[in-house]
Amino acid sequence: MPIITASIDPVTRIEGHLKVDVEIDTVDGVQQVVDAHCVGTLFRGFEKIMEGRDPRDAPNITSRICGVCPTSHGMAAALTLDNAFGVTPPTAGIMMRNLVHGACFLESDILHFYILSLLDYIKGPAMAPWQPGWDTGRRLDSATESRLVGSYLKAIEIRRKCHEMGAIYGGKLPHTPSFIAGGFTAVSTAQNKTDFQTLLTEIIAFIEETYIPDVELLGALYPDYYNIGKGYGNLMSYGVFQEGAGTLFAPGLVNDGSEAIQALDIGQVTEQVTHSWYDDATNDKHPSVGDTVPQHPKAEGYSWLKAPRYSGTNYECGPLARMRVNGDYAGGVSVMDRHMARSQEAFKIASAMQVWLDAVEVGAYGYSPAAVPTAEKSGVGLTEAPRGALGHWLTVKEEKVAAYQVVTPTCWNCSPRDTVGNRGPMEEALIGVPVKKADQPVEVLRLIHSFDPCLDCATHVMRPDRKGKVYIVDR
Ligand code: NFE
Ligand code: MG
């Protein structure tokens, strides 16, 4: 049998636009993925848009990078400005930042499991969005199907309530304008707290009584997915949700085969562009001195994503990484571990939100006044988005943005090969994924969705001859 090349273009049920090419061969009697390329098919240019602007606009502009993680960019940009401007937000501002950022995490996690991932496993009723669907690899009886379809419909309501909850302090979601240099714009009222509490109580109940049990049920029906999709097994977190001098999730690294948590040294991060459509003169730079110079076409290029590496090595980021780095999750690295850790993390975040809500003082101001520095300054903001480690780097000169770099979690996870030719984390995790039917590679989708990719929501330029299909090329 020849090696089969299957292209999924676009991958649906993700945020943004991704193409994945896999090579499928039979090894030891099992048809499986033997090579993979992840292709980011759009160029956004937000880093260039920032240049020459008032740095105080960074949270508002960069939160438009994405509709599902806008508070992550708002938070990262605000932390960057705090750092560059030399300002410390008051406790109420930190708590309100956490509450709105937490609401976005919960919205994103619930959306991810039910609306983006579950259709890889359930058949559902004979109507959109369930049909037409894959006719391979289903293992659920009709009672389990109906339970999960019921949860899916409830999840649509609950994720809306997550946004409504975040909007109580954020004014609106997505794209709240409330993250600012020095803190947060809202002043809490007694009514805000009561309204937030009502929604939070309902959301916590959904996570405990529906989301976690549903993920456990799926794990019991697909136990083989605890052994599929490990990849390199290296995990990284920048840490998130400031609490006093620390964070709810600590920063750190866990390397494959070790339980030991290593300290994170952000100076070890560079972005490689040998296989990305960017100028090689910008290769392997730390983001504080990095640049975004598109170059397309380029002989070795195949993606608009750069390839971030830590000390030259690949790291996966996301909920599983955060939970493992914090010692909160004892499982391995796999498709099902990613779902399981995400659901358990949602409960941890929601429980912490209860503590932060109790701590928000009615009437307390959320910000400390902050001025744009007249001298040249640099700043960095490290946080976590639902999908993983997020960093913004800024240089201010003559009170304007001279340079701005953003390194997103999906760049880490879905990056192309690096300068030495090593695959990105998701590319590597695809190797060995068993595929029953090459023209319906649902197993590949299950792996991709477990990473929850986001190609930074924007208009996709698709080749009309390849619209929305899996197409097979026989060699
Ligand atoms: Ni557009 Fe995002 C998250 C960020 S992924 S969803 O989570 O930053 O790159
Ligand atoms: Mg970038």
CATH code at position 128? 1.10.645.10
Q: Measured from the CB, is residue 389 less than 6 Å from ligand 1?
A: no
What does the alpha-carbon distance between residue 3 and residue 24 come to, in Å, rounded to a whole number? 6
In a domain, 393, yes or no: yes
> What is the tens place of the pLDDT at every residue in 121-171?
988 888 877 777 777 778 999 999 999 999 999 999 999 999 999 999 999
Q: Measured from the CB, is residue 409 less than 6 Å from ligand 1?
A: yes
Cα angle value 62/186/169 (rounded, 5°): 75
How many whole angstroms from 346 Cα to the centroid of ligand 2?
27
pLDDT at 465: 52
Share of residues in the chain with pLDDT > 70 (%): 96
Average pLDDT per block of 10 residues along the chain, 475 residues long: 90 88 97 97 90 98 93 98 98 98 98 95 82 79 94 98 98 96 96 98 99 98 98 98 97 96 98 97 98 95 96 98 97 98 98 98 95 98 97 98 96 97 98 95 96 63 44 38
pLDDT at 123: 82
In a domain, 324, yes or no: yes
Considering only CA atoms, which of 366, 307, 378, 345 is closest in space to residue 86?
Answer: 378
In a domain, 160, yes or no: yes
pLDDT at 217: 98
Domain count, the chain: 1
Q: Phi first, then psi: what are they for 125, rounded to 5°? A: -70, 165
Q: Hey, what are 137's tokens? A: 């690899």
Q: DSSP letter at 395?
A: E
In a domain, 442, yes or no: no
pLDDT at 43: 86
pLDDT at 42: 85
Which of the listed residues 75, 303, 392, 410 should we mutate to test ligand 1's pocket, taking the one with most ligand atoms within 8 A of CB?
410
Q: Collect all residues with Cβ–Cβ distance below 8 Å to 175 and sequence separation of at least 6.
A: 60, 63, 64, 67, 70
In a domain, 6, yes or no: no
In a domain, 438, yes or no: no
Contact 200, 350 (CB under 8 A): yes
Q: Hey, what are 77's tokens? A: 């940009």
How many whole angstroms from 86 Cα to the centroid of ligand 1?
27
Nearest CA to ligand 1 atom 2: 69
What does the alpha-carbon distance between residue 257 and residue 324 come to, in Å, rounded to a whole number? 12
What does the alpha-carbon distance between residue 437 and residue 415 come to, in Å, rounded to a whole number? 26
In a domain, 22, yes or no: no
Contact 316, 236 (CB under 8 A): yes
Residue 347 lies in domain: 44-428
Q: Measured from the CB, is residue 403 less than 6 Å from ligand 1?
A: no
In one letter, which amino acid is 188? S
Residues annotated as binding site for Ni(2+)?
66, 69, 454
In a domain, 240, yes or no: yes
How many whole angstroms from 404 Cα to the centroid of ligand 2?
9
Cα angle value 287/288/289 (rounded, 5°): 85
**Torsion of Cα atoms, 106 then 118 then 443 then 138, to 10°:** 160
